[in-house]
Amino acid sequence: MPTVEVADLKDGDFLLDVREDDEWQAGHAEGALHIPISDFVARYGELTEAAPQDGRVHVICRSGGRSAQVAMYLVQQGVDAVNVDGGMQVWAAAGRPVVTDEGQPGFVL
């Protein structure tokens, strides 16, 4: 499974958050696309519309388990996808911003 470290992510990298709605609402990376893993197959078209055509999809969840499953599925579909190792827990611990939908400071649930 291809993985990347949070420290390797750059501003502007395409980020797909597959956590559930309550986790997303508590706090997420600004600019991430949110498609919960429970809805992922049904909402796959939203990803193909939003993702950069020749770019990489960085998949993130709370700690890396769910995102690894989605990243593996995407790779099987021919998408350049990688799992973000450690997920939002490492993201927040690294001092990366976590925000709510209103742009206020959030937290990782």
Please state, in angstroms and rounded to a whole number, the distance separating the CA atoms of residues 58 and 41: 17
Active site residue 99: no
Contacts of 23 (CB under 8 A, 6+ apart): 62, 88, 108, 109
Of 32, 37, 60, 61, the active-site residue reads 61
Q: Which two tokens stand for residue 48?
A: 């193909």
Residues with a catalytic annotation lie at 61
